[in-house]
Structure 1
Amino acid sequence: MEEKVEVSLNDKKSVVVITGITILVLFILLIAGAYYWVSKKTKGQTVYPAGINYLGPTSSEVKTPVAPLYDYEKLANSSNWVTFKGRLFGYSFQYPKEMVALAFPPNDPSDAVTFKVGDTPPELNLMLLVETISSRDSSLVGKPEEYVKNYWRFFSGLKGVNKVTVYQNAKGLKGYKASYLTKANTVTPERIFFILDGDPDHMIYVSNIFPKEGEAVFNRMLNSLEYKKK
């Protein structure tokens, strides 16, 4: 009789152990599934402080984003603007708090930043970056106007310069506005190149990425742009 009781207790212990292992395995699978789902949802976008995101995936991996609906007239006249500061270079500008500044990670040498304002993937539609002249043509270092006039040579889709004019924003930053001729016989929108005092190897490049109705927002950003060498 005692032997039968011993067997029964062992059986109960086995059931408890098996049940515990089963629950543990199910728990691990649940956690793994949740992690996989979250990683899929956030793929290619690592959130940094202050709402800055890393634009990770290549263009082939990025689905066309839905263009945000902004009231550009309201944004242009709003007092609720905040300051974005470059991490490698000493530039800064203001932008509407309702918009999210998208920047590359801290080791990006161009210190680029943009906004999602249309159907083009943001990483293919940069608003501002810092050009390193020597990385394109070392003979143009210290020759900002010549660099702007020869900028088209660095791109296979361009065939010449259309127009270059001297430009200065409201903060006193000086540089050039330029447009270029494409091989499709069209003229590019104007780009702005700002000279950085005390830094002959770099220029700030700015492109108007906004739709026509957002030009007032872009112009306010452009005129708020400042530079102080770090």
Structure 2
Amino acid sequence: MIDETDESLNKSSLVFGNFAVLVVFVLLVGGVYLWVSKKNKTGQQVFPAGVNYLSPKGDEAKKPVLLYDFAKLAESSDWVTYKGKIYPFSFQYPKVLTPLTFPNDRSDAVTFKVNELSPEQSLLFTVETISSRDKNLVGKPEEFAKNYWKFFSGLKALNKITKITNEKGMTGYQATYVVKGKNAITSDNYFFVVEGDDEILLHIGDIFPTEGKAVLNRLVNSLEYKK
């Protein structure tokens, strides 16, 4: 004859044992997930597009792979005009370069493959919507440029800012920033004001190696915004 009391106790013990194993498993998986998440976030730094070629001091400097003869490109007469798909900006660039854009991108970003980085990591041009960064900086382009570093975890301070005017009469600011954790300064960032629109700034980041500075300067000086 089967003892129903013993059978009931055995079933209860089995259920409790299975539940305990399940709890331990969940805690173990959860612990591993949190550890991995924390580890992945540690040391992960975000940089604005266009600060890929830093200006490090001493042994930190690395010579980039040159994809073009930038001296010849700067002097070439074979330049063409790129026009924004959303905003009415335009600038000139060497015809040999292929504009790279991104589907459904509200910032109207465009770049060129002029270094070894992926296009997503090396944006040349974006339209910055100021309120999406900090609504308190709308209508304050200089303050926006000064504080731009605060929007990126990889930067720690403003290095230098200068008021500029390009050859098309557009005014704005040229700025560099200090990289967090390194004795390095970012490449130049240009912020151009759009007359009559306090909400946006035209941002150009220097994605070119040092040898391509003349190409960048010519491109920056050709930037226009016509409504």
Answer yes or no: is the 8 Å Cα contact 1:125–1:209 preserved in 2: yes
Partner Cα separation in structure 1 for residue 184 and residue 66 of structure 2: 28
Aligned counterpart, 2:97 = 99
Written as runs of structure 1 = structure 2, the 5 A alignment for 1:8-27 is none
Q: Structure 1 length as normaliser, TM-score?
A: 0.67
Aligned counterpart, 2:81 = 83
Answer yes or no: is the 8 Å Cα contact 2:89–2:224 preserved in 1: yes
Q: CA RMSD in A?
A: 1.3
Say whether residues 1:166 and 2:171 are aligned partners. Answer: no
Q: Secondary structure at the match of 1:166?
A: strand
Answer yes or no: is the 8 Å Cα contact 2:67–2:115 preserved in 1: no
User: How much does 1:68 deviate?
Assistant: 7.1
Partner Cα separation in structure 1 for residue 212 and residue 225 of structure 2: 24
Partner Cα separation in structure 2 for residue 160 and residue 199 of structure 1: 27
Partner Cα separation in structure 1 for residue 125 and residue 202 of structure 2: 7
Q: Which runs of 4+ in 1 moved over 3 A?
A: none
Partner Cα separation in structure 1 for residue 75 and residue 160 of structure 2: 31
Answer yes or no: is the 8 Å Cα contact 2:131–2:138 preserved in 1: yes
Say whether residues 1:217 and 2:215 are aligned partners. Answer: yes
Task: Say which of 160, 173, 180 aligns to 1:176.
Answer: 173
User: How much does 1:71 deviate?
Assistant: 2.1
Say whether residues 1:131 and 2:128 are aligned partners. Answer: yes
Aligned counterpart, 1:109 = 106
Task: Say which of 45, 70, 78 aligns to 1:72.
Answer: 70
Which ranges of structure 1 fall in alignment gaps of 5 or more residues? Answer: 1-66
Identity, % of aligned positions: 57
User: How much does 1:110 deviate?
Assistant: 0.5
Written as runs of structure 1 = structure 2, the 5 A alignment for 1:9-48 is none
If asked which structure has higher relative contact order (CA below 8 Å, sep 6+), I would say 2
Answer yes or no: is the 8 Å Cα contact 2:190–2:203 preserved in 1: yes
Aligned counterpart, 1:147 = 144
The number of residues matched between the two structures is 162
Aligned counterpart, 1:7 = none
How has the CA–CA distance of structure 1 residues 160 and 224 changed in structure 2, closer, same or farther, with 3 Å as cutoff?
Answer: same
Written as runs of structure 1 = structure 2, the 5 A alignment for 1:181-192 is 181-184=178-181, 185-192=183-190
Aligned counterpart, 1:122 = 119
Q: Secondary structure at the match of 2:175?
A: strand
Which ranges of structure 2 fall in alignment gaps of 5 or more residues? Answer: 1-64
